[in-house]
Amino acid sequence: MTRVGHVLYLHGFASSPASSKATRFQRELAAHGVGFSCPDFNEPSFETLTITRMLDQTQQALDGVSAPGPVAVIGSSLGAFVAVHAAARDRRGNVDRLILLAPALDFGGNRMRQLGEHGIDEWRRTGRLRVFHHGAGEEREIGYALYEDAARYDALTLEVPLPMLVYQGRKDESVSPAMVEQWARGRPNVELHLVDDGHQLTGSMEEIWRNSERFLGLPGNPSRREGTEVGE
């Protein structure tokens, strides 16, 4: 595939640009001289997070890309849900491929239904829900507007005719592997890899990077060709 000029990384829910996957991609891409950016969806406030705001931030990041060449968007979990919608509405049309990691493509439909009706009613009543924020390492509050706003978006039926590289863990307890497999079925533009891993895909990062390197049109890392491992 054609070499990308820039990669936009979209982190997941209650994560940050400092996540292990984001920093891994940033480091590897820097070695290839490829531009990298990752909007912080916790700004201006995690509590006021909505899908619409994430999409606006993503579009602003895409509009700010000045590097020549195509742009690839990588989305992790909820970031993958946003990536699909962002690619579909990209104003400049520069996005030409997607990498989706443990994609929470049913987020708009499920909208945290694991809370149960009582939990959702309480969230609606108080307007806030306490969740563990992995990026901050502590509990944070998220506003009910996220639940309401997510209902406006459906990634499962959205048609995005771009090449997509998708990694999904079979042991993922947050995103249903069956849902991702069913979504990928019948979409010839989707290259799906099911791996024996959990939601974080920690044990699969070497494979993910090797295939991403190919998918992004980048030559293999010289240090690896010479047998030297690149450290985490």
| Mean pLDDT, rounded, for 15-35 | 97
Cβ–Cβ < 8 Å for 25, 36:
yes
pLDDT bracket for residue 102 (50, 70, 90): very high
| Mean pLDDT, rounded, for 212-220 | 94
pLDDT at 52 over 80: yes
- The confidence score (pLDDT) of residue 225 equals 42
- Is 58 exposed, middle or buried (CB count within 10 Å of its CB: 0-12, 13-18, 19+)? buried
For the domain covering 6-225, report its CATH number.
Answer: 3.40.50.1820
- The confidence score (pLDDT) of residue 112 equals 73
Task: Report CA-CA distances (Å) from 175 to 12, 101, 116, 188, 229.
Answer: 12, 10, 17, 22, 31
pLDDT at 13 over 90: yes
- The confidence score (pLDDT) of residue 221 equals 59
Distance separating alpha carbons of residues 188 and 34, to the nearest angstrom: 27
The domain spans of the chain are 6-225
Mean pLDDT is lowest, of 35-39, 175-179, 222-226, for 222-226
Which of 194, 228, 196, 191 lies closest to 212 in space, CA to CA?
191
pLDDT at 230 over 60: no
pLDDT bracket for residue 111 (50, 70, 90): low
Residues β-bridged to residue 95: 71
Q: What percentage of the chain carries pLDDT values higher than 90?
A: 84
Mean pLDDT is lowest, of 46-50, 161-165, 189-193, 220-224, for 220-224
Reported pTM = 0.92
Supply the DSSP string of 146-213, one letter for each residue: HHHHHTT--SSS----S-EEEEEETT-SSS-HHHHHHHHTT-TTEEEEEES--TT-GGGHHHHHHHHH
Q: What percentage of the chain carries pLDDT values higher than 70?
A: 94
pLDDT bracket for residue 216 (50, 70, 90): very high
- Percentage helix, strand, coil for the chain under 3-state DSSP, each rounded to 5: 40, 20, 40
Distance separating alpha carbons of residues 43 and 94, to the nearest angstrom: 25
Mean pLDDT is lowest, of 101-115, 141-155, 170-184, 215-229, for 215-229
pLDDT at 202 over 90: yes
Distance separating alpha carbons of residues 94 and 167, to the nearest angstrom: 23
| Mean pLDDT, rounded, for 62-79 | 95
- The confidence score (pLDDT) of residue 92 equals 81
Distance separating alpha carbons of residues 158 and 86, to the nearest angstrom: 11
pLDDT at 208 over 80: yes
| Mean pLDDT, rounded, for 192-207 | 98
- The confidence score (pLDDT) of residue 108 equals 80
